[in-house]
Structure 1
Amino acid sequence: MSKVYILHENDEWTIHLEKRLQQLDVPYETWHLAEGHIDLSQEPPEGIFYNRMSASSHTRNHRFAPEYAAAVIDWLESYGRTVFNGSRALSYEVSKVKQYTRLVRYGINTPKTAVAVGKEQLIEAAKQFGITPFITKHNRAGKGLGVQLFHSIEALTQYVEGPDFEEPVDGITLIQQYIESPAHFITRAEFIGGKFVYAVRVDTSEGFELCPADACQIGDQFCPVGEQPAMKFEILPMPKPDLIPKFEAFLAGSGIDVAGIEFIMDADGHAYAYDVNTNTNYNADAEKAYGTYGMLELATFLKKALNK
């Protein structure tokens, strides 16, 4: 029997999709790809496959999960199986450099970025960058992990040469123009089947870790007693609707079916896209207030594809 197969490395991030597939009576199976084996001469099962591999898998001790997922997806595609967020999408998930170079081709602004390998080269790249303040980030990351803000080369040098320097898993560190949002928020535009679903406003006043999943929620323990905490995630009208067709064209041209694209607006209202997340998650509280549910939309999309 044909079914939906979910390729992933984190059970916590598949629970809500599984519940929606059960709700819609969709047969499915999960493949946890932190480790495993395949016989390339054996034909894969019938069905459709949805890849949810994450660039941050190494933070869960699944260092080689993306590499193994790439091998599995190549095997599936070689037999003509339908893979949503297939091999091309996975290559964007694990490389911000690839994201930025591709976004620019579709007329989408990105922050000025430099690429460096090695501590000395990182400092030298910062000296030549010509813009302060700037941030560093890892080429393969997730949830804003590894992001640091610097106001001077001296501060960067102290960090790089100190004990707290965080080595990127692929060796590549990015230096990037710091775009300051006057209202301290970013926007994440969600797409399913390559089409816009909604935009979520994310409050960034508490830092760079921007995962919208329920597991990443920040509690209200720091809120004054008796005060209603502000919503960290809130679905609102798309603040830059002219970006929607550009984002959709980028996704279609890059083999990406499901994604959340994050962008930030500066004081002059200029938008800069800085992250394409093909392992996108959704926030239950924000969706309940808005009345649209990403995992239900995704499960419906997968059901229609399976029925074809």
Structure 2
Amino acid sequence: MEKIYIIHENNEWTVHLTKRLEELGLPYEEYHMGEGMVDLSTIPPQGVFYNRMSASSHSRGHRYAPEITFGLLAWLERHDRKVLNGSRALQLELSKVLQYMALNQAGICTPKTIAATGSEQLIEALKAFDGKQIITKHNRAGKGLGVQLFDNFYSARDYVLGEQFEEPVDGITLVQEYIQSPDSSITRCEFVDGKFHYAVRVDTSGGFELCPAEACQIGDLFCPVGEVKEEKPMFEIIEGFNDPIIGLYEQFLIENHIQVAGIEFVRNSEGEIFTYDVNTNTNYNPDAEEKAGKFGMLELAKFLGKELDQVRSSLALS
């Protein structure tokens, strides 16, 4: 029987989707790639394969999960299986450098960024931002891993040369101009089936740990950027959000064969938008969704069910 196959490495993030699939009575199977194996001499089963591999897998002890997932996706795509968020999506998930180049190709503005390896090269990169606030981050990250904010070159240099410096898993650190939001927030746009679903305002006054999932809200890395001055929700869905950036994002997703994503941007005091992250294993915040009555995992489950019906119809005709 044809199924929905979920490719992932984190049960805590996937359980919300499988619950929705069960609610809709949709058959599914999980491919947990924390430790994986792909028999390339066999033929894959029929169904819909949805890739949710994460750039932060190494932070959960699954260092090589993305690498074996590339093999799995190549096997599936070689046999013309229906793959959602396939090899290209995984490439972008694992590299912000590739994300920024693809975003720029689509006419989408990103912050000034320099990629570097090695302390000497990092310090040279920092000099290009002297006099400005600077962010350092990991090229392969997820969950805000390695994000640090510095007021000047000297504090950033001390971090790079100090014991607290966190080496990225792929060795590439990004040095980026900090874009100041007037209200200390960023906006995350969610897309299902390549179409805009909703936008959520994320309060960054407490730090850059911005993963919407419940599992990310306790015990993960935290980068303070100032005191929280008032009690307010960290995630809040924006009613009636409408901006020309949505059209650019949807075209970007089409060009890069991505069906499901969360794309984050910051707007400066002049109203200019700078896009800085594409999440292809997107999660949703339950409190914000409950308040707004919009449910990303439910829409995703419905989308997967529709894709499964199309596969079944094609097989019936063949």
Q: Which residue number in structure 2 is paired with residue 258 of structure 1?
A: 260
Deviation track 1:137-166 (CA, whole Å, cap 9, x = no partner) reads 000001111011122222122111111000
2:210 alignment partner in structure 1: 210
Using the aligned pairs only, state the percent identity.
60
- Note if 1:96 corresponds to 2:96: yes
Q: CA separation of 1:71/1:148 partners in 2, compared to 1, >3 Å: closer, same or farther?
A: same
Calculate the TM-score normalised by the size of structure 1: 0.95
Amino acid paired to 2:289? E
Quick one: which of 287, 290, 311 aligns to 1:288? 290
Cα drift, residue 240 of structure 1: 5.5
Task: Report if the CA contact (8 A) 1:187-1:199 is conserved.
Answer: yes
Structure 2 distance, partners of 1:292, 1:158, is 45
Q: Residue 229 of structure 1: CA displacement?
A: 3.7
Match of 1:174 in 2: 174
Q: Following superposition of structure 1 onto structure 2, how do residues 107-256 of structure 1 map, counting pairs within 5 Å?
A: 107-129=107-129, 132-217=132-217, 229-237=231-239, 241-256=243-258
Q: Is structure 2 residue 60 aligned with structure 1 residue 60?
A: yes
Distance 1:152 1:294 in 2: 39
Task: Give the conservation status (yes or no) of the 8 Å contact 2:196–2:246.
Answer: yes
Q: For the structure 1 residues 239 and 304, does the alpha-carbon distance in structure 2 shift closer, same or farther, using more than 3 Å as the test?
A: closer
1:131–1:112 Cα change, 3 Å: farther
Unaligned runs of 5+ in 2: 220-229, 311-318
Partner of 1:273: 275
Partner-residue secondary structure (3-state), 2:179: coil
Three-state SS of the structure 1 residue aligned to 2:124 is helix
Structure 1 residues 103 and 238, CA gap change in structure 2 (3 angstroms): farther
The code of the aligned residue for 1:262 comes to E
SS in 1 for 2:271: coil
Q: Distance in 2 between matches of 1:67 and 1:213?
A: 24
For residue 238 of structure 1, report the CA deviation from its aligned partner. Answer: 5.9
Alignment of 1:48-87 (within 5 A): 48-87=48-87
| AA in 1 matched with 2:258 | I
> What's the secondary structure of 2:183's corresponding residue?
coil
Deviation at 1:237, TM superposition (A): 3.4
Q: Give the secondary structure class of the aligned counterpart of 1:70.
A: helix
Query: Letter of the aligned partner of 2:186 in structure 1?
Result: I
SS at structure 1 position matched to 2:170: coil
Q: Return the TM-score normalized by structure 2.
A: 0.92
Mapped contact 2:104–2:110 kept (Cα < 8 A): yes
Deviation at 1:54, TM superposition (A): 0.3
TM-superposition CA deviations, 1:158-188 (whole Å, max 9, x none): 1111110000000100110100111011000
Contact 1:96 1:140 survives alignment (8 Å): yes
> What CA deviation, in whole Å up to 9, does each residue of 1:1-34 have, x standing for no partner?
0000000000001111000000111000001001
Distance in 2 between residues matched to 1:110 and 1:36, nearest whole Å:
35
- 1:131 Cα deviation (Å)? 5.5
The amino acid that maps onto 1:307 is D
- Distance between the aligned counterparts of 1:280 and 1:58, measured in 2? 17
RMSD: 1.4
Q: Is the 8 A contact 1:138 1:174 kept in 2?
A: yes
SS in 2 for 1:176: strand
Q: Which moved more, 1:89-98 or 1:102-111?
A: 102-111
- Which structure 1 segments of 5+ residues have no match? 220-227
Matched letter for residue 17 of structure 2: L
SS in 1 for 2:128: helix
Contact 1:131-1:177 within 8 A present in 2 as well:
no
Whole-Å separation in 1 of the counterparts to 2:88 and 2:119:
30
Once residues 164 and 34 of structure 2 are traced to their aligned partners in structure 1, the CA distance between those partners, rounded to angstroms, is: 28
- Give distance in 2, aligned partners of 1:135 and 1:6: 34
> Aligned letter for 1:251?
L
- Aligned partner of 1:8 in structure 2 is 8
